[in-house]
Structure 1
């Protein structure tokens, strides 16, 4: 199981094996970057936030109590770091135009026709997600792309479970309408 494996590496880091943290970075860097990008809207800023978040996670790893999954704890750091940085820049906005990226390694890439169809669908989904209100986009991303539970999203964003469910409901309706319009 992933959580148990994460704990093995966390324990190794806490015992002084600094290279064990590289495993955790490798496992979670893509989603950390994706979440940061949704908030920051610029690739360079998202990279900075993701990197800063991993540094914070490393420095605060001794505080990880294991009450939640490591990924939830880490994404909370990413979320709060990005929101804080964005607020310091001025207006807090979220962009979801890069919501779904299919990065296939060469050996597992679908046939060209299927890839084009998937890319076309992806374009429509991206356009629809871009029309979502700010927090609905984050909630949709965490729930569907990262498969976080409502409780985990609650921990990451600080929103209540009821608020998350409402945002998911609204986001699904908006996406349904937008996709009908686009298709």
Structure 2
């Protein structure tokens, strides 16, 4: 696939621009899903997805092939979605940093057990929506898209250790958001 895609890209760069539709067909759905999970609004996500493919087309000659085309495209999509979310969405969940610091790791790791229960899953989904765009992007890439830490790092331009630390903090933050919400509805 990688070799085939590189050949396709080479041909597009050399003038066979109509072939770009094949790349769009291959990646449009996954790019839209990524953008939608970060943005949360369908129309806006559709528009950003179109912009991502337009930007990728314009910059295709800059694609060096050091990563897969999908990773390169995801980086463009992530940056576009995060930038749009920063401009249009209010600041998200405020967490007391002291509570976050003293929360035992084992408690935050229990979040994965909650997925078996619909009510808790709904609360978790709501909590993810309250994260900052950068945090939602990492959650989407790592948990929904099942990208490795290395791929997340490449897409987000963070170091692997930074991705690990951020994912750890996000799990803690989600735990606090969900438990706070659960306590407030009791």
**Scaled by the length of structure 2, what TM-score is found?**
0.68
How many equivalent pairs are there? 155
Whole-Å separation in 2 of the counterparts to 1:16 and 1:86:
35
User: Partner residue of 2:52?
Assistant: 53
Taking a change above 3 Å as real, the CA distance of residues 9 and 41 of structure 1, as seen in their structure-2 partners, is same
User: Partner residue of 1:130?
Assistant: 126
1:144 paired with 2:140, answer no
Taking a change above 3 Å as real, the CA distance of residues 173 and 85 of structure 1, as seen in their structure-2 partners, is closer
RMSD: 3.1
Tell me, which stretches of 5 or more residues in structure 2 are unaligned?
A: 94-115
The alpha-carbon deviation at position 67 of structure 1 amounts to 1.0
Q: Give matches, 1:21-170, under 5 Å.
A: 21-89=20-88, 91=90, 125=121, 127-132=123-128, 133-134=131-132, 135-170=134-169
Whole-Å separation in 2 of the counterparts to 1:11 and 1:92:
42
Whole-Å separation in 2 of the counterparts to 1:125 and 1:24:
34
Determine which structure has greater relative contact order: mean sequence separation of CA pairs < 8 Å that are 6+ residues apart, divided by chain length.
Answer: 2
Q: Which has the higher helix share?
A: 2
The structure with the larger Rg is 2
User: Partner residue of 1:11?
Assistant: 10
The alpha-carbon deviation at position 129 of structure 1 amounts to 3.6
Taking a change above 3 Å as real, the CA distance of residues 5 and 40 of structure 1, as seen in their structure-2 partners, is same
Taking a change above 3 Å as real, the CA distance of residues 31 and 122 of structure 1, as seen in their structure-2 partners, is farther
1:50–1:78 contact (8 Å) kept in structure 2: yes
Taking a change above 3 Å as real, the CA distance of residues 174 and 154 of structure 1, as seen in their structure-2 partners, is same
**Scaled by the length of structure 1, what TM-score is found?**
0.69
Tell me, which stretches of 5 or more residues in structure 1 are unaligned?
A: 95-119
Deviates more, 1:50-59 or 1:81-90: 81-90
1:37–1:43 contact (8 Å) kept in structure 2: yes
